[in-house]
Structure 1
Amino acid sequence: MTLVLKRQENMEILAVLVGLFCVLQSNGIEVEALENGCQNFQSHTVMLQEQQSYRSSFHFQPPKNWLNDPNGPMWYKGVYHLFYQYNPYGAFFGDVMIWAHSVSHDLINWIHLNHALCPTEPYDINSCWSGSATTLPGKGPVILYTGIDANHCQVQNMALPKNLSDPLLEEWIKFAQNPIMTPPDGVEGNNFRDPTTAWLSHDGKWSVIIGGWSNNQGMAILYRSEDFVNWTKNQDPLYSTERTGMWECPDFYPVSVNSTDGVDTSVLNEGVKHVMKAGFNSHDYYMIGTYVPEMEKYIPDNDFTGTSMDLRYDHGKFYASKTFFDSVKNRRILWGWVNESDSREDDMEKGWSGLQSIPRHIWLDRSGKQLVQWPIEEISKLHGKKVSLFHKKLDSGSIFEVQGITASQADVEVVFELPELQQAEFLNPTAVDPQLLCTDANASIKGRLGPFGLLTLATKDLTEQTAIFFRIFKGLKGYLVLMCSDPSRSTLRDEGR
């Protein structure tokens, strides 16, 4: 039994024009600064095609070109900011990448501003790669980012707002004494990147971690500073392991053990656990554990194993994620890059590639063993006409089309009731890779309880469809629900897709 959402060919496109130049800025830290001219990286306006059936209206996207990692999300003076990796020259990952910049009042509707950081100096002349934003008490936000220098070495740099009274933070300047961190002994120049949001530790010093690889270990390289300008590498990483590859886009933050509310990155008390996230093998993995600042050690409840059993934010297209603490609504919000599966030729033809996930509120499960996430409440602003169905009986093998949906994109809430769960097959979750199980038992393989679910973006004859389906199993201590997607029939090649 399957529920079908029929694909419609019409889509409303909102094209926001990108600014034609970018400038530069300064903060409360007493430093010299250099202007960060982006004149050579202007993103010219583009008219979108009237029909772009595959462009999202729900997810964040620039009007054109390539997008990847979310960088430095934050709230400042009533405005949400999102920076991101961007190629101003085309719909593919570029030899030179910049920080694009957009702002919003609700995390849903975005205005694209001038680019924030562009390669202009010897320490970032070959790209401004990923990083984070930290708000210094009484001084405002500071950006730490990875620059690819003239020798193609990865170094860490700082940038500051020029005008702290500007809620849009439209102009940024670079610290004249960049780089402020360079690859330490034992770490090669191409394995040292992506600084996290910094936190204020128990001794009044700032701490930040950089993703790295050394001695066959993936690691969170720890640096500390009294003034946010002069940084000293800690003798040992905050955490390292031989079971992973190079760590990309690490994230480190506290979560409350008793509440769904988020907490500031610098909070440290008995009421929080700490999440350590790292990107490797093209996926984002995380651990939950205890941060011991006196020893500058992170002790995970369960170590990375380097296998599919490690915890992941998402088993779909989701990478290089970044969280930030939203002090307005006391929540921690998670962004992730959604990489597409199109070919380079397809991306160049349509003129864009990549989008950001819908922002998610994230918190610690009551068990304390994993994280829980849910789309932020503001997503309801995108809802239009509501179509409701109740108590629809679906027989085995039946297909039912939802009528009344006139948009090609919809937010679906569906509840399935299965009265005979005792028929479920037994599954030992500790002995099975759920992702492999989804692949091996795709939507066309019948089981005792499943598959059932949705066919989305389905053509009338169902030759093209994306199945989102469920299977129910009997586990060691109850029932297990496996949620899968099957993209094997998602593309019609005769449409050039």
Structure 2
Amino acid sequence: MNIKKITNPLSLLLIFGILITACQSSENRQEGVETASQEATTYNEQYRPQFHFSPAKNWMNDPNGLVYHDGEYHLFYQYNPFGDTWGHMSWGHAVSDDLVHWEHLPVALEEENNVMIFSGSAVVDHNNTSGFGSADNPPMVAIYTGHHTDQELQDQRIAYSTDNGRSWTKYEGNPVLDEEMANFRDPKVIWHEGSQQWVMVVALPTEYKVRFYGSENLKEWNLLSEFGPSGATGGIWECPDLFELAVDGDSDQSKWVLQVDLNPGGPFGGSGSQYFVGEFDGKTFAQDPDTEGETRWVDYGKDFYAVQSYDNIPENNGRRIWISWMNNWQYAEQIPTSPWRSAMTIPRSLSLQTFDDGIHLVHQPVQELQQLRGEHHQFEQQEISGASDLLAEVSSNGNQLEVIASFSVDEADTVGFKVAQGTSEETVVAYDAVNGYLFVDRTNSGQTDFNENFAGVHKAPLKQVEGEVKLHIFIDRSSVEVFGNDGRVVITDRIFPSDGSDGISLFTTGGSAELQSLDIWQLNSSWN
């Protein structure tokens, strides 16, 4: 359009308005991330998590591109630079050297040319198979879904960085994988040593399947196999992950874990995450026969979705670590937070352990979180019956806590804690000994009326171990994460209590229980 030929004043005003809006949008896109480091000095709004990652402002969902490189853990994530609800999907970016303290960086991959940047993964191409870097400076390569806004099409694309993720170039040959499908997304790419190739696992959401592709250079992909349907199929499949873990810490015995999210169809409605245990030979994933017909949930809470594990963690570290989006699509855009919306779970390290009903995935909070521990309260060998005042001295500052407790259930029907407790609010975290499950009850946890699907009781089956139950709880202003019996089961839930609802207390119903040990730490903020 030639502005010089337009003489209508209203047309000129319209054109200049468009130009000004475009400039402001560009500025806002960067402001949402670049000013985050300044805003993090306060980071103290109501419901703002203090030791969970959250963007300084605007909308966030799935973690993407989790990769370790040159001393930094990279966290990319689905991000809307223009508002606090879903849209304009791009990759936000943050880095950390300890998984606890995060530095916000500018948006890494931006929506452009009618293509949103949907979820995906990242790898370090050590052998420079892609040719994007060199032997001395291997490139970091992001693999993501291109979601077309002008047609019903999703394809797989790549971008690369040779400066440790600070700047990115989208590959001129994109897309690298296009099956001409409307629903074909969320590529997780790993290097498979046995077959000496890159392997991509990508979701076919409406078919309840994942596909495996192989590549020598990250640019050209060949179909290897499919897996599914299996397990839970009550909603679309998304955000797969694939990794190998030792069984019971035995380096001579390992299994492969295929994790797949689904929405809806989670254990208590809406979003959920399931996993399969089996073998992977570089081409085909074979689920262990004794687990077929089962659904194994990664987390029994309402707010654990789109989990992804870190790639390229050094062998001397030896851990498989992952992070999940702490939200649920039933109410994700309605949670009462501002100027940001959504947070990530605490990072968790994974293992496979054998129990009497087979091999299960176990996750524990990463040890790096212990550096946030402050004031410590310790109790041992206390009988608990009914409502207890044992924790009165810590009940006035209970919205940033780590709690580790071991109970002998004895005569009690129920034993546990009331957290985020106020005059008329409480979140119950307890063990039901009669029915054998751990539960979180957030029906009276504070603000719950923003969506009819929010309030509820979320349960995880848990057996006592020699008459005892162990709870490891993290409370952070607007979240509760509960690890039962050293991570045998986990419940992750958001809560939105009123100011002043920060108490914590012990209780039993139906009889007494013995508190064997209890450690409570006030946790410092990771943002200051």
Same fold (TM over 0.5): yes
From the superposition, tell whether residues 314 and 297 of structure 1 become closer, same or farther in structure 2 (CA, over 3 Å): closer
Q: Distance in 1 between matches of 2:322 and 2:44?
A: 31
Q: Is the 8 A contact 2:232 2:295 kept in 1?
A: no
Q: Distance in 2 between matches of 1:64 and 1:126?
A: 23
Over residues 217-237 of structure 1, what are the superposed CA-to-partner deviations in whole Å (9 max), with x where a residue is unaligned?
311112121222111223x41
2:191 aligned with 1:211, yes or no? no
From the superposition, tell whether residues 382 and 342 of structure 1 become closer, same or farther in structure 2 (CA, over 3 Å): farther
Instruction: Find 1:60's aligned residue among 43, 53, 59.
Output: 53
2:210 aligned with 1:255, yes or no? no
From the superposition, tell whether residues 135 and 38 of structure 1 become closer, same or farther in structure 2 (CA, over 3 Å): farther
From the superposition, tell whether residues 237 and 492 of structure 1 become closer, same or farther in structure 2 (CA, over 3 Å): closer
Instruction: Find 2:320's aligned residue among 309, 326, 332.
Output: 332
From the superposition, tell whether residues 249 and 289 of structure 1 become closer, same or farther in structure 2 (CA, over 3 Å): same
Instruction: Find 2:393's aligned residue among 403, 417, 429.
Output: 403
SS at 2:377 equivalent? coil
User: Could you tell me which residue of structure 2 aligns to residue 454 of structure 1?
Assistant: 417
2:298 aligned with 1:313, yes or no? yes
SS at 2:274 equivalent? strand
Q: Which runs of 5+ in 2 are unaligned?
A: 1-24, 128-137, 266-270, 450-495, 499-528
- Give me the TM-score of the superposition, normalised by structure 2: 0.69
2:352 aligned with 1:353, yes or no? no
CA apart distance, 1:213: 4.1
- Give me the TM-score of the superposition, normalised by structure 1: 0.73
From the superposition, tell whether residues 493 and 303 of structure 1 become closer, same or farther in structure 2 (CA, over 3 Å): closer
SS at 1:120 equivalent? coil
User: Could you tell me which residue of structure 2 aligns to residue 97 of structure 1?
Assistant: 89
Q: Is the 8 A contact 1:41 1:118 kept in 2?
A: no
Aligned residue identity for 1:315: Y
Q: Distance in 1 between matches of 2:28 and 2:245?
A: 42
User: Could you tell me which residue of structure 1 aligns to residue 8 of structure 2?
Assistant: none
Aligned residue identity for 1:158: I
2:65 aligned with 1:72, yes or no? yes
Q: Higher strand proportion, which one?
A: 2
Q: Which moved more, 1:46-55 or 1:252-261?
A: 46-55
Aligned residue identity for 2:433: I
Q: Is the 8 A contact 1:239 1:297 kept in 2?
A: no
2:427 aligned with 1:466, yes or no? yes
Q: Distance in 1 between matches of 2:26 and 2:321?
A: 30
CA apart distance, 1:344: 4.4
User: Could you tell me which residue of structure 1 aligns to residue 105 of structure 2?
Assistant: 113
CA apart distance, 1:345: 5.6
CA apart distance, 1:206: 2.1
User: Within 5 A, what are the aligned runs for 1:16-165?
Assistant: 41-44=29-32, 45=35, 52-94=45-87, 96-121=88-113, 125-138=114-127, 139-149=138-148, 150-161=150-161, 163=162
SS at 1:414 equivalent? strand
Aligned residue identity for 2:421: A
Q: Is the 8 A contact 1:80 1:104 kept in 2?
A: yes
SS at 1:403 equivalent? helix
User: Could you tell me which residue of structure 2 aligns to residue 278 of structure 1?
Assistant: 260
Q: Distance in 2 between matches of 1:105 and 1:273?
A: 29
CA apart distance, 1:97: 0.9
Aligned residue identity for 2:370: S
Over residues 129-151 of structure 1, what are the superposed CA-to-partner deviations in whole Å (9 max), with x where a residue is unaligned?
10011222233421100111242
User: Within 5 A, what are the aligned runs for 1:223-238?
Assistant: 223-234=213-224, 236-238=225-227
Q: Is the 8 A contact 2:420 2:497 kept in 1?
A: no
From the superposition, tell whether residues 344 and 277 of structure 1 become closer, same or farther in structure 2 (CA, over 3 Å): closer
Q: Which moved more, 1:96-105 or 1:325-334?
A: 325-334
CA apart distance, 1:320: 0.5
User: Could you tell me which residue of structure 2 aligns to residue 174 of structure 1?
Assistant: 170
From the superposition, tell whether residues 260 and 68 of structure 1 become closer, same or farther in structure 2 (CA, over 3 Å): farther
Instruction: Find 1:387's aligned residue among 377, 401, 407.
Output: 377
Q: Is the 8 A contact 2:28 2:82 kept in 1?
A: no
Aligned residue identity for 1:402: A
From the superposition, tell whether residues 492 and 74 of structure 1 become closer, same or farther in structure 2 (CA, over 3 Å): closer
SS at 2:50 equivalent? coil
Q: Distance in 1 between matches of 2:399 and 2:348?
A: 22
User: Could you tell me which residue of structure 1 aligns to residue 407 of structure 2?
Assistant: 416
Q: Which runs of 5+ in 1 are unaligned?
A: 1-36, 262-269, 421-448, 474-479
CA apart distance, 1:59: 0.9
User: Could you tell me which residue of structure 2 aligns to residue 30 of structure 1?
Assistant: none
Aligned residue identity for 2:72: V
SS at 2:177 equivalent? coil
Q: Which moved more, 1:338-347 or 1:367-376?
A: 338-347
SS at 2:401 equivalent? coil
Q: Which moved more, 1:362-371 or 1:196-205?
A: 196-205
Over residues 66-106 of structure 1, what are the superposed CA-to-partner deviations in whole Å (9 max), with x where a residue is unaligned?
11111111110111111111111222112x11100000110
Over residues 412-454 of structure 1, what are the superposed CA-to-partner deviations in whole Å (9 max), with x where a residue is unaligned?
112222345xxxxxxxxxxxxxxxxxxxxxxxxxxxx332211
CA apart distance, 1:128: 0.5
